[in-house]
Structure 1
Amino acid sequence: MASETDLALRGGGFLLVEVSPDRVFIPEELNEDHLQLKRMTHNFVEKEVAPRIEELEEKKEGVITSLLRQAGDLGLLGLEVPEEFGGLSLDKYSTVVVGEEVPRGGSFAVAYAAHTGIGTLPIVYFGTSQQKAKYLPALASGEKIAAYCLTEPGSGSDALGAKTTAVLNAEGTHYILNGTKQFITNAGFADIFLVYAKVDGKLTNFIVERDMPGVSFGLEEKKMGIRGSSTRQVILEDVAVPAENVVGELGRGHVVAFNILNVGRFKLAAAAMGSAQLVLETALGYAAERKQFGVPLTYFGAIQAKLAEMAAQTYVAESVVYRTAGLMEEGFRGLDLTGDCRKEAGKALEEYAIECSLNKVLASEVLDFVADEGVQIHGGYGFIQEYPIERMYRDSRINRIFEGTNEINRLLVPGTLLKRAMSGELPLLQAAQAVGKELLSASPAGQEEGLGGVLRLVQKGKKLFLMAAGLAAQREGNALKDNQFVLMALAEMVLQIYAAESAVLRAMKLEGLEVQAKHKLFAAKASTLAAYTAFNSLEQQAKEVICAVEKGDAQATALAGVKKLARRANADLIGLRRELAAMTVEQGKYPLR
């Protein structure tokens, strides 16, 4: 049986143990190198990219590629590329600090993320030494731009249903690719395409170059948002790709595709979190200047309540992203990316598939909430293109679709947990049984004061999940994997637990750090609000799952167990929002930025 320390570092293991604050990484622990990189990125985006947002929105030719090359000159395109191939070999924290600043450049962030993430990383993690030497220096400098080609007109969420084919020629030197890829970011100007095609019915990843005969493109898609980014079809007609351009193992392209999407989801969350900070800043600026009934909007409680929730949820997203960065940094420590490391890299990326999906879902939905409230605070002006909040609102919506829809990502969470439970990787079912025994014998523990008590509340939430998941697995058996109603409820419970715990652990860890008292106070109040709000959701979701899988006396007994677990002290959530609003309005921006 794995120790609690080992489980705390395993993907999904946080559900089974009491995680201590020292086990999580928080943004307040960033070192001076990280902060200097963050400032440099901020200055670049503010001075070079932001002034050209309108040109980007109009797709003025050459602007986005020029900006990408400028980013390459600063080293921002090669953060995760080994130094031997022209990169910087930086840690996961560095990718977050850059990722949260880039969204200030509007649609530039989309091109940047597609290039540096899902476009370049398949070669970094799964490429051969020869492929890395050939392609990575140009990708790191911005001389060449990358794109990722998985989605097809008939297969989005069903990635394995792709129809694009690759057939080895008679000489055994080239694969002949035929098919169409849909919604490909950077397609209008990318030089290198990571294309997924089926060899004898099995998905395989290929490096395709733009100037290879038979490669053509559809027209630019007219999109709701992120209009400055390029989105086109990539059409492959008898494209001869050298056999040495296979990335990873032949017929195992799904390993590359899904694991690269894991890291893509994590990076998307960092960008969404940074975008939420920017939207909050924009809404605060407007609310402070706009007067109604002779006073600024920030005077009114209804507006203050919105600003408090916007700030608190942004804090939660930030806590989750940095916690996950710490896990991934631990998982990648010691991995040599200069050679053929596909097996080790695949294992490291797969380990935190659950957390990466949770990051993506949480941060994208926080951003959508914050952007929607930002428009509402602007009133009618929020609907006018002259105001940046209008573009931010439109741009935010794609994040719940990118990198696998949020529905697919939610379903991945309980699906992966159950697989790991059945294989013995995670003692999930044993933990569920332990909760059942505890409910039969134990009396409720006394309430603990302060953040320790809030953390105990999160721990109770874990028990609610284990109880509901255990009953669902017991009653549904193999049919559970197809019961998406129940799976979605369980996924929401896991999401709320990870989010609330990350927020509270950060606030607790801050108590031992030398940061301003008001910083600690905001974190404590935001995490308390988040935990109580999450627990209300957890209680309701547990009841819904139990009512779906249990009937009669068994249902009544289980619901009594929920009631027992859900006993908790009351908290003045309205008072917390009022205090958070005051701190947020005083700062005029996200208070912890």
Structure 2
Amino acid sequence: MSDTLTDQKVLKGGEFLIADADYSTTFVPEEFNEEQRMVRQMVQDFIDQEIKPNLDKIEKQEDNIAPRLLEKMADLGLLGSHMPEEFGGMEMDTNTNTLICEVMGGSSGSFTVSYAAHTGIGMLPILYFGTEKQKQDYLPRLINGELKSAYCLTEPGSGSDAMGAKTSAVLDGDAYVLNGQKMWISNAGFADVFIVFAQVDGDKFTGFIVPSGLEGLTLGAEEDKLGIKGSSTRQVFFENVRVPVGNSLGQIGKGHLIAFNVLNVGRFKLHALSMGGAKRSLEVGIRYANERIQFKQPIANFGAIKYKIGEAGIRIFAGESALYRVSQQIQDMNKQLMADGKSFAEAKLLSAEEYAIECALLKFLGSETLDYTVDEVVQIHGGMGYSEETLAPRMYRDSRINRIYEGTNEINRLLSVDMLLRRAMKGALDIVGPAWNVQKELGGMPSMDRPEGEYGEEIKAVADFKKLILMVAGAAAKQQMDGKINLKAEQEILMNVADMLGDLLQAESTLMRVRKMRDNGLGNQSPEVYDAALRTYLHDATARMQKNATDAVASFIEGDLLRTFTMGIKRFTKYPPQNVKKLRRIVADFLIEANAFVM
């Protein structure tokens, strides 16, 4: 599937903080072409015909249902949509693969985990780091469904601290002998191939391709989990398992490159899956609100319910806007790298690595939007939300894992800021110059001129968000350089900054989307609905920005300097108050009338 690289310079990862983005070059989901819409329909038809009728079987893991469904997806080419044609893949572009993930996240229940684990963390390590022989041996059979894959990283003593793994690999002639234990391994119950990480010589973290039939490889019982019960999750044990030397993956001692780079893609895909899940969940809530009669009218008529539907709809719209903005950036970077002579695999790896900051932000933004939505859908159902007769409890349980795997949301918050500061220190991003300009601006008188143009206030608000983040992050970095604080030990400050970055990414992406839709006449309804979503999000984001900035600076500054910074915070959070009750109702009323999420 072809894509077009614009003449616009592709923004680097993290550059959204300091660069003015051109909204006319961003991609919005309203622009899907006919071929992409056909792919979306194909995936939805598969879900309707193969997954929905089997949701109970999936939930109970009956009839070997998950691997059989993976094989049926393979018949449609959906296990290799992101893979090179030389191995049997379809080489679809990033936006199309993002769309596939979003649709799969909507109505696939626990099977979403089986699909995502196989196509993502189970296949990409071989594509990115495998030898040509390893790719030829495994990728065609993973793409056609003959083989199913699993990813073995986590251990009882190493979760977020992946490099602390204890599983050992000792070279013995023509094989490495593996001993150790992995836990929380998705697809373990039916996997034919395991991507396993172990310590060679005790301290060289390394990846291996381990076939399931090797002597000494055994599985624990299926875990009894809170949610995603339909996904196979087991412990994997290695007792003197002899893995051929030719099955080591990448360089010895460089396994961290495999683990971290694959997780970048996993975090991005998790956001796409979460957006699909949130849309589906909200649709279930809207339909119930329209059907449930109390006081002689549907509960959808009541303001408290309209708030829930409108707010969830706005958060999903903002999250989807950021999703496809970053998807387009990854796609453009991938295209640029291939034009520069990189291979398919190299370009995929480097483009995902480039936007690691955005992927970390999207991971916690998407999973928390989904969690908010499913929680409110349970509440809309009232007592029925606690009954297994409805979908609400299952969606509620299944959602919770998303804030934990692919790196906890806390880890992703810390990583996003750490990576941003590292890029600045290496000179990959010039944050010092813009931060210094903000400091000089604070020393002058604020302008009394009001922004002009239809979205003047919104454009100014987003620009001020950037200045505010630069002010706070710059002050924190200066305090660290002066030896007054150690940011590694001040995680609360880093998390404040991460939340500000997340709000900026979604606010600017939503503004870009709405402006492009207005210019090009895109969308399913009146621009009034999109404007309502944008202005409500900015109103609320302004309050969050003010609180996060205040909480952060008050953690490491005091006295007259704190008063100065407080004035700066007020200066950069002046977006005019909005009648959010009215605006949320505009969004809610449209969704309620449509009886679905159709923004």
TM-score range, shorter chain: over 0.9
Residues 96-105 or 395-404, more deviating: 96-105
Q: Which amino acid aligns with 1:32?
A: E
Can you list the C-alpha shifts for 1:421-460, whole angstroms capped at 9, x where unaligned? 1111111122111101011124234233532321221111
For 1:176, the equivalent position in structure 2 comes to 177
Q: For residues 161-195 of structure 1, give each alpha carbon's deviation from its aligned partner in whole angstroms, at most 9, with x where no partner exists.
A: 111111111x2x21111111110000000101111
- Aligned partner (choices 151, 154, 159) of residue 156 of structure 1: 159
Matched ranges for 1:542-557 at <5 A? 542-557=549-564
On the 8 A contact 1:129/1:340 being kept in 2, the answer is no
Over the aligned positions, Cα root-mean-square deviation in angstroms equals 1.8
Q: Displacement, 1:235?
A: 0.7
Report if aligned partners of 1:46, 1:105 keep a CA contact under 8 Å in 2.
no
Match of 2:400, SS state, is helix
Aligned 8 A contact 1:166 1:175 in 2: yes
Equivalent residue number for residue 542 of structure 2? 535
Residue of structure 2 in register with 1:456 after alignment: 460
Q: How is 1:8-407 mapped onto 2 (pairs within 5 angstroms)? A: 9-103=11-105, 104-169=107-172, 171=173, 173-200=174-201, 201-333=203-335, 345-407=348-410
CA contact (8 A) 1:108 1:228 kept: yes
| Counterpart residue type for residue 549 of structure 2 | A
How far is the alpha carbon of 1:359 from its aligned partner? 1.0
Q: Distance in 1 between matches of 2:327 and 2:261?
A: 16
2:521 is the alignment partner of 1:518: no
The range that moved more, 315-324 or 518-527, is 518-527
Q: CA deviation at 1:114?
A: 0.4
- Decide which moves more: 484-493 or 243-252: 243-252
> What is the distance in 1 between the residues matched to 2:344 and 2:196?
20
Which one of 471, 482, 488 corresponds to residue 489 of structure 2?
Answer: 482
Contact kept in structure 1, 2:545 and 2:573, CA below 8 Å: no
- Please state whether the residue corresponding to 1:232 is helix, strand or coil: strand
* Deviation, structure 1 residue 516: 4.6
Contact 1:80/1:91 (8 A) holds in 2: yes
2:459 partner letter:
L
Post-superposition offset of 1:517: 6.6
8 Å CA contact 1:316–1:502 kept in 2: the answer is: yes
**d(CA) in 2 for partners of 1:90, 1:341:** 12
Query: Post-superposition shift, 1:335?
Result: 5.3
> Residue 53 of structure 1: CA displacement?
0.5
Q: 2:450 aligns with which of 439, 446, 468?
A: 446
Q: Is 2:506 the partner of 1:505?
A: no
5+ long unaligned stretches in structure 2? 1-6
Question: Counterpart amino acid of 1:37?
Answer: V
Comparing 116-125 and 508-517, the one that deviates more: 508-517
Counterpart residue identity of residue 318, structure 2:
V
* 1:304 and 1:581 in contact (8 A); partners too: yes
CA contact (8 A) 1:106 1:226 kept: yes
Write the distance in 2 (CA, Å) between the matches of 1:564 and 1:322: 31
Report SS of the residue matched to 2:198: strand
Please state how far the C-alpha of 1:100 moved relative to its aligned partner: 1.3
Deviations 1:76-97 (A, max 9, x none): 1011111110111111112111
Query: 1:515/1:342 Cα in 2 relative to 1: closer, same or farther (>3 Å)?
Result: closer
- Equivalent runs, 1:390-429 vs 2, <5 Å: 390-429=393-432
What letter is aligned with 2:452?
A: E
Q: Secondary structure at the match of 1:25?
A: coil
Q: Which amino acid aligns with 2:179?
A: N
8 Å contact 2:517–2:523 — kept in the other structure?
A: no
- Mean Cα deviation higher: 560-569 or 203-212: 560-569
Paired with 2:472 and 2:459, the residues of 1 have a C-alpha distance of 20
Q: Deviations over 1:197-244 (max 9, x none)?
A: 111312111100000111110000000100000000011111111222
Alpha carbons of structure 1 residues 519 and 69: separation in structure 2 relative to 1, 3 Å: farther
Code of the residue aligned with 2:362 in structure 1: it is: N
Counterparts of 1:208 and 1:521 in 2: how far apart (Å)? Answer: 55
Q: Which secondary structure state, in structure 1, belongs to the residue aligned with residue 554 of structure 2?
A: helix
> Could you report, residue by residue, the CA deviation over 1:378-418 in whole angstroms, capped at 9, with x for unpaired residues?
00000001101110010000000010000000000111111
SS at match of 1:133: helix
Measure the CA separation in 2 of the matches of 1:344 and 1:249.
19
The verdict on how the C-alpha distance between 1:343 and 1:44 changes in structure 2, with shifts beyond 3 A counting, is closer
Aligned-partner SS, 1:512: helix
Determine if contact 2:539/2:575 at 8 Å carries over to the other structure: no
Read off the aligned partner of 1:407 and give its amino acid letter: E
Q: 1:34 to 1:440 in 2, by over 3 A?
A: same
Maintained 8 Å contact 2:546/2:569: yes
**Aligned pair count?**
586
State the partner residue of 1:493: 500
Change (3 A) 1:472 1:339: closer
Report what 1:465 is aligned to: 469
Inter-partner Cα distance in structure 1 for 2:580 and 2:185: 44
Q: 1:261 to 1:376 in 2, by over 3 A?
A: same
Native 8 Å contact 1:126 1:341 kept in 2 = no
What percent identity do the matched residue pairs reach?
A: 43
1:79, 1:88 within 8 Å by CA — same for their partners in 2? yes
Distance 1:13 1:317 in 2: 19
Contact 1:180 1:236 in 2 (8 A): yes
Any idea what SS the aligned residue of 2:317 has? helix
- Which stretch of the first structure deviates more once superposed, 17-26 or 517-526? 517-526
1: CA distance, partners of 2:553 / 2:112: 43
Distance in 1 separating the partners of 2:316 and 2:575 = 25
CA distance in 2, matches of 1:360, 1:399: 8
CA–CA distance in 1 between the matches of 2:132 and 2:527?
A: 47
C-alpha contact (below 8 Å) 2:221/2:235 kept by paired residues: yes
Q: Describe the SS at the equivalent of 1:119.
A: coil
Residue 431 (str. 1) matches residue 438 (str. 2)? no
TM-superposed deviation, 1:307: 0.4
Offset of residue 476 of structure 1 = 2.5
Is 2:584 aligned against 1:568?
Answer: no
Which among 553, 568, 588 is matched to residue 581 of structure 1? 588
Q: Which amino acid aligns with 2:50?
A: E
**Corresponding residue SS for 1:380:** helix
Post-superposition shift, 1:320?
1.2
TM-superposed CA distance for 1:503, in Å, is: 0.9
Relative to the length of structure 2, the TM-score reads: 0.95
Q: What SS does the aligned partner of 1:205 have?
A: strand
d(CA) in 2 for partners of 1:405, 1:588:
34
- CA-CA distance at 1:482 after TM superposition: 2.4
